[in-house]
Chains A and B, each alone.
Chain A
């Protein structure tokens, strides 16, 4: 006897429309373990998109609690969260599971610096949704060493960038950095003689650019997991001009993640 069809049954399948995109390996996406580092503006959007796309195993890491100014960009936070004292990661995980109860989303309270290659090897894909260069470099180097693909996102006002790093061949974040990045880091960390002071300025941010950049990060994660070629290598988005360009980058022979004495295991 052949398959039995009934009217409208395809609409009962949550992922019916996604299955129509032939290159998407939805089974692999659903099996994959994804780590989102940062549960702020980009992290909220990224976790929302991951879960709606069909990811079933998502961990989200952040050390902060909600402040009211987060609410203009964070779809999973609610008025009052800023008074709850609960961590951003815990809240994002809880609200994301309301989007799809079949998804297991865990909120991890902690610092990115606590993540080493051993911890990162538990994941199939890592998304960086951070707000400073030092944290990005840490995640970049350790993901590369652990041979885990890393998709980094950054925003400032109506500008954004996404970079996809797939070890062991693609250039990493550090390959594209220069002295201007180091100067930004130096300004953040100033030595007083007694202790290091970390200064985090408020950068301009708004939801439309945040949404676009996080969505592209998730799409790139899906491409990597579906064995489709990701962008090579850095996408720069200018929301005011309405432009989006993918620019190539070379491996820096002096980069410690690639060159002689490299940290990475290729």
Chain B
């Protein structure tokens, strides 16, 4: 089974549609869209509404609805220099 979702780039507002298998993980979504948008190397997380998704969570566990929107946001690591 395949689920189509829309992922929004929080930094640019751009969106891309992704077809996901139930076995796909959140980490794979992050890697897929990061490569598509040629993102700078860095840490990213995915939010779904007001929840942050864990990297190892599978699409099946998330019960993602068709055409639901997820958002890729940078996870800032600086601050001491």
What is the bound-complex CA distance between A116 and B74, given in angstroms? 29
Given contacts A156-B74, A248-B50, A252-B56, contact A179 B30 (CB under 8 A): yes
Give A126-148 interface residues, CB cut-off 8 Å to B.
129-133, 136
Shortest C-beta distance, A157 to chain B (Å), equals 8
B36 to A: closest C-beta gap in Å? 14
Q: Once the chains bind, are A245 and B54 in contact (CB under 8 Å)?
A: no
Complex Cα gap A233–B43 (Å): 18
Shortest Cβ gap from B41 to chain A (Å):
6
Residues of A within 8 A of B44 (CB): 178, 180
A249 and B79 within 8 A (CB): no
Number of A-B contacts (CB under 8 A): 121
Q: Which of B's residues lie within 8 Å of A, judged by CB?
A: 10, 26-27, 30-31, 34, 41-45, 47, 50-52, 54-56, 73-81
Nearest CB of chain B from residue A92's CB, rounded to whole Å: 12
Is the pair B43, A181 in contact by a Cβ cutoff of 8 Å?
A: yes
A: interface residue count bin? 35 or more
Main secondary structure of the interface of A (DSSP, over half): mixed
Q: Is the CB of B73 within 8 A of A236?
A: yes
Is A43 interfacial (CB-CB < 8 Å)? yes
**Chain B contacts for A130, CB-based, 8 A:** 79-80
- The one of B30, B52, B80 in contact with A42, judged by C-beta atoms closer than 8 angstroms, is B80
Q: Of B30, B51, B77, which contacts A156 at CB under 8 A?
A: B77
Q: Which of B56, B75, B79, B80 gathers the greatest number of chain A CB atoms within 10 Å?
A: B79
5 pairs of A and B residues whose beta carbons are closest in the complex: A178-B55, A40-B80, A203-B78, A131-B80, A156-B76
CB pair A213 B79 closer than 8 Å: yes
- Seen from chain A, the residues whose Cβ lies within 8 Å of a Cβ on chain B are 38-43, 62, 64, 69-70, 129-133, 136, 153-157, 159-161, 175-181, 183-184, 187, 200, 202-205, 210, 213, 233-234, 236, 238, 245-250, 252, 254
Q: Tell me, in angstroms, the Cα distance from A252 to B57 when the chains sit together.
A: 9
A160 touches B76 (CB 8 A): yes
Cross-interface CB contact of B10 among A157, A238, A254, cutoff 8 Å: A238
Partner of B80, one of A43, A177, A181, A246: A43
A161 and B75 contact, CB distance less than 8 A: yes
Query: Quick check: A136 and B77 within 8 Å, CB to CB?
Result: yes
Contacts of B47 in A (CB 8 A): 247
Q: Is there an interface contact between A131 and B78, defined as CB atoms closer than 8 Å?
A: yes
How close is B72's CB to chain A, nearest CB, in angstroms?
Answer: 10
Is there an interface contact between A205 and B81, defined as CB atoms closer than 8 Å? Answer: yes
Whole-angstrom distance between the Cβ of B48 and the nearest chain A Cβ: 9
